[in-house]
Chain A
């Protein structure tokens, strides 16, 4: 079956500390993977997407980075967190690699930077 694993579910980190959020998917090969952020309001902001191993597209310049070391693994990182990085981070996958197939989201990580 197709599943999305995203962890941790919640995270509290001090300003200036590093960050690593991981997303892995099962049940498909070569999926399109995405990282979205939802700030205190409700808007969803696309941060990164990847159509293959080592292929990362960034939509918003910031102190975050993403990597895709394996076909079904997508990692969101930061070397030094800012207060403004607080939010709800969602990994998403297109089970079919066509650009118009629906995105399916993981359960999210709620990050609080203190």
Chain B
């Protein structure tokens, strides 16, 4: 069975602070894919990144970075120098080789960035 845990339900930071959103996953499959999505107040989910289980390189995209650690089954997301526009709910998700088309989402972390 697949499971994704986002232990932080809400995080509040002040603009320009760095913030890390945690994601821990569980699977017995050796081939799997991890995703992050952003859901701003408008509601639509925006795809941010996909990482496969064989690529442990960390990724940086502007102020966003992702730290994939297979040893701890974690795929954490860091926003550097946060901005008010980063306020949203962020979802981590897992897709495994044997799960067909079923993406397993975590419960989400609501990030509030205050000016």
| Residue positions of A touching B, CB distance < 8 A | 32, 34, 41-44, 46, 49, 51, 57, 59, 88, 90, 92, 99-100, 102-108, 110
| B37: A residues at CB distance < 8 A | 105
How distant is the Cα of A34 from the Cα of B101 in the complex, in angstroms? 9
Query: Which DSSP category, helix, strand, loop or mixed, fits chain B's interface?
Result: strand
| A105: B residues at CB distance < 8 A | 37, 44-47
Is B25's beta carbon under 8 Å from chain A?
Answer: no
Contact A102 B50, CB 8 Å, known A42-B108, A44-B91, A51-B101: yes
User: Which residues 22-57 of B sit at the A interface, judged by CB distance below 8 A?
Assistant: 33, 35, 37, 39, 42-47, 50, 52
User: Which residues 97-115 of B sit at the A interface, judged by CB distance below 8 A?
Assistant: 100-103, 105, 107-108, 110
Asked if B102 contacts A59 (CB within 8 A), the reply is yes
Query: Which DSSP category, helix, strand, loop or mixed, fits chain A's interface?
Result: strand
- Number of B positions contacting A (CB below 8 A): 23
Asked if A46 contacts B102 (CB within 8 A), the reply is yes
Asked if A42 contacts B102 (CB within 8 A), the reply is no
How distant is the Cα of A74 from the Cα of B110 in the complex, in angstroms? 30
